Structure 1
Amino acid sequence: MTGTGGVTSAKPAGPLAPRNGRTTRTEPSRPVTGGVTRTEPSRPATGGVTRTEPSRPAVTRTGGGVTRTEFRTRRAEEAGRYLGDAYGLSLRLGAATDGPEYSLVRTDAGAFTDGVVSLPARIEFSTDEVTDLTVVAVSAGLFERTTAGVDERFTAGDVLLVRPGGRPCFARHTGTRCATVNLSAELLAEAAATANPRRPGVPRFTGTTASDPSLAVLWTRTRDFVAETLTTGVTSPLVLGQAGRLLAATALTVFPNTASAEGPLPADTRDATPGTLHRAIAFIDANADADISLADIAAAVHVTPRALQYAFRGHADTTPLSHLRRVRLARAHADLKAAGPGAGVTVAGVATRWGFAHQGRFAAAYRRMYGTSPGATLRG
């Protein structure tokens, strides 16, 4: 299944946004009973007939443009309507009955969206031509698809692209649970420019499955890492920017595409000079608190990303992003040392500010660098 936010930032699912010309209402976040439909008692005004209210998605906005939407229902018709709207599909439930729980838990982080969907009954859907990219990792059940006359079957452990190359398809889910990731065109174009500056623009994916089984595992681990980051409630632009770029770069590694790496350009080696290194270090020092990428650093010093990598490797025995992480770690160290008693500063807050979402990894890197723990530095 795929989302509707590939070219622009994805919008919250279902009734949170207008779709197909139908204007719906944005409801404030409220406690719900797991999204399960609620049946009100009989009332005289309705002639004693019970009324079943539709399930409402539970919406949590954590700030920084991040929105988490959770929808659950045991009504097959309602599931079909909601999931169809959420993923932009023409969807039909085949012989589905009320009872099993359908669910969608989705986190919209702007440039990318992560979701987990559970489809206990058979669901069929068709798609129109689109160009947005959605990666699906199947963890249970069966996903069958027919595209351009080619039939495919996917089961637990398989990773695939949905609607690759903008081609329409017909598909069906049977008792499926899967994780979905939507990537914006902007993220993909940035990743492609970094991988291959000779082919700018949004890459075209030429295959629907991972080039190798080990790459399917790589995608699953990367997606799980990002999903774990999102569950912390982090909204730091530095953390979210890194997470989105990591997903896009991994997608280019896992699935065949037109941005596949080629040999170096003559300028890549010619521009890998000490001067390039020094200008890049100055840019990083001045912008370490901003959400900057490898492509941003290279553009600032007027070289290709590959030339920048060669300069750091050849003259500093490191990489541009490793140096950026080291600078941010030093800034975090300075903040911890400068924090006075009672100032309300926390290790978690300082780490997140400088782009470190996972406290355990931050603490380990901090100890390697400074020989002590972040907490000890904060306590003085």
Structure 2
Amino acid sequence: MLQDDMTWAPEGEVAMSTLVFDSDDLERTEDFLSKAYAKMRIGSSTPSANRARIRRDTIESITVDELDLDFDMSYAVSPLGRICLCVVHTGTIEDHVYPGVEDAFGPGDVVSLAPPDLPYSGRVRNARYNITMLDPALLSQVAATVEQRTPQPVRLTGHRPHSAAAAGHLRRTIAYVRDHALADPAIADQPLIRATVSQLLAGSVLTAFPNTALTDPTASDRNDAHPDTLQRALSHIDDHAAEPLTVADIAAAAHVSIRALQYAFRRHLDTTPMAYVRRVRLAHAHHDLATAAPETATVADIATRWGFFHPARFAALYRETYRTTPGATLRR
């Protein structure tokens, strides 16, 4: 059985899509996996049981898959060209190999399967697991390497998180994205939601894994982090709050490096650029709630329009800032 439930956006926009695959035909499963990931060969050591169940949710440059295989499957995969994260729920992944690495993963493990440009192989043993893939370019939207004005691509330098706490945070972030941002196509199709989700996931990946990003400001960054830099950044945020924004976009508008921008916000406002973006968008949401007609508007619609996709977190942030609830503001 192959169920294809696609939610299409108008031409020129990016849709969220959901794809469900369920088959006990190994050849068909191989064909599906080759199209969904990269060219691969799979095999089974348990010919009496070959059922594969896969659900894929896609949003712009991110895919989140839940896979359930009730058999032992070997795999050999061509380079994906993407960062591929794996969270094992049950079962094991064994003999996982790519140049320079050989490892095995079990329940609770969170790993990066291989660098985007390398092939890998291994064996899945009767496992249920999550595969989350993202465009490597997303990492450079939230961080930069040592090069100042023209950041080099940020790369992961290890396949396991540097601590159990970092692994747990990334695991929760993936579940949060899957269960809240991707659970409702009406939410996921909002442009600010897509941008927020992409940056949230990219930031969590960089926090979890060793990488080439340089976070401490250099002497040049400190010199650039003056009030004029901050003012250029604030003006750009105010003018473009309704559009997808990344820290790299804001840094480019302020004519400084990402680190200089982050240092300027920390030095002068004791916050981060994206926290300030969130504050500005919250103010817009507050205005819309205060001026909307409660008969035709909802809190959820206004929140998602401004990039807030978790109702409880939006309500908590709103209450902390305005000392009332979003619903009370809308009704008033």
TM-score with structure 1 length normalisation?
0.79
1:237 aligns with 2:191: yes
Other-structure match for 2:306: 354
CA deviation vs aligned residue, 1:232-259 (integer Å, no higher than 9, x gap): 3311111111111221222222222333
Other-structure match for 2:210: 256
CA deviation vs aligned residue, 1:288-309 (integer Å, no higher than 9, x gap): 1011111111111112222222
Residues 315, 256 of structure 1: alpha-carbon distance in 2 compared, 3 angstrom cutoff: closer
Output the aligned Cα RMSD: 2.2
Other-structure match for 1:373: 325
Q: In 2, distance between residues paired with 1:341 and 1:219?
A: 38
| Contact kept in structure 2, 1:106 and 1:114, CA below 8 Å | yes
Letter of the structure 2 residue corresponding to residue 359 of structure 1: P
Structure 1 residue 368: Cα displacement: 1.3
Q: In 2, distance between residues paired with 1:262 and 1:330?
A: 29
1:105 aligns with 2:55: yes
Residues 262, 321 of structure 1: alpha-carbon distance in 2 compared, 3 angstrom cutoff: closer
2:114 paired residue among 126, 141, 163: 163
Q: In 2, distance between residues paired with 1:149 and 1:271?
A: 40
| Contact kept in structure 1, 2:140 and 2:248, CA below 8 Å | no
Other-structure match for 1:45: none
Unaligned runs of 5+ in 1: 1-54
Letter of the structure 2 residue corresponding to residue 374 of structure 1: P
Other-structure match for 2:38: 88
Other-structure match for 2:151: 200
Residues 312, 264 of structure 1: alpha-carbon distance in 2 compared, 3 angstrom cutoff: closer
CA deviation vs aligned residue, 1:77-118 (integer Å, no higher than 9, x gap): 433332233222422232334556421111111211111111
Residues 278, 129 of structure 1: alpha-carbon distance in 2 compared, 3 angstrom cutoff: closer
| Contact kept in structure 1, 2:142 and 2:246, CA below 8 Å | no
| Contact kept in structure 2, 1:210 and 1:216, CA below 8 Å | yes
Paired positions, count: 323
Task: Classify the secondary structure of the residue corresponding to 2:41.
Answer: strand
1:275 aligns with 2:228: yes
Q: What is the 5 A alignment of 1:22-171?
A: 55-61=1-7, 63=9, 64-97=14-47, 101-144=51-94, 145-148=96-99, 150-164=101-115, 166-171=117-122
| Contact kept in structure 1, 2:141 and 2:247, CA below 8 Å | no
Q: In 1, distance between residues paired with 2:262 and 2:84?
A: 29
CA deviation vs aligned residue, 1:39-71 (integer Å, no higher than 9, x gap): xxxxxxxxxxxxxxxx22232316442111111
Residues 149, 350 of structure 1: alpha-carbon distance in 2 compared, 3 angstrom cutoff: closer
Other-structure match for 2:272: 319
Q: What is the 5 A alignment of 1:301-340?
A: 301-340=254-293
Letter of the structure 2 residue corresponding to residue 57 of structure 1: Q
Task: Classify the secondary structure of the residue corresponding to 2:7.
Answer: strand
Other-structure match for 1:173: 124
Letter of the structure 2 residue corresponding to residue 315 of structure 1: H
Residues 129, 84 of structure 1: alpha-carbon distance in 2 compared, 3 angstrom cutoff: closer
CA deviation vs aligned residue, 1:138-172 (integer Å, no higher than 9, x gap): 11111011334753211111122223262323211
| Contact kept in structure 1, 2:49 and 2:70, CA below 8 Å | no
Structure 1 residue 220: Cα displacement: 0.4
Letter of the structure 2 residue corresponding to residue 58 of structure 1: D
Task: Classify the secondary structure of the residue corresponding to 1:57.
Answer: strand
Unaligned runs of 5+ in 2: none
| Contact kept in structure 2, 1:339 and 1:378, CA below 8 Å | yes
Letter of the structure 1 residue corresponding to residue 279 of structure 2: R
Structure 1 residue 196: Cα displacement: 4.8
| Contact kept in structure 2, 1:138 and 1:176, CA below 8 Å | yes
Residues 305, 258 of structure 1: alpha-carbon distance in 2 compared, 3 angstrom cutoff: closer
From the CA coordinates, give the structure whose radius of gyration is larger: 1
Q: In 2, distance between residues paired with 1:187 and 1:297?
A: 15
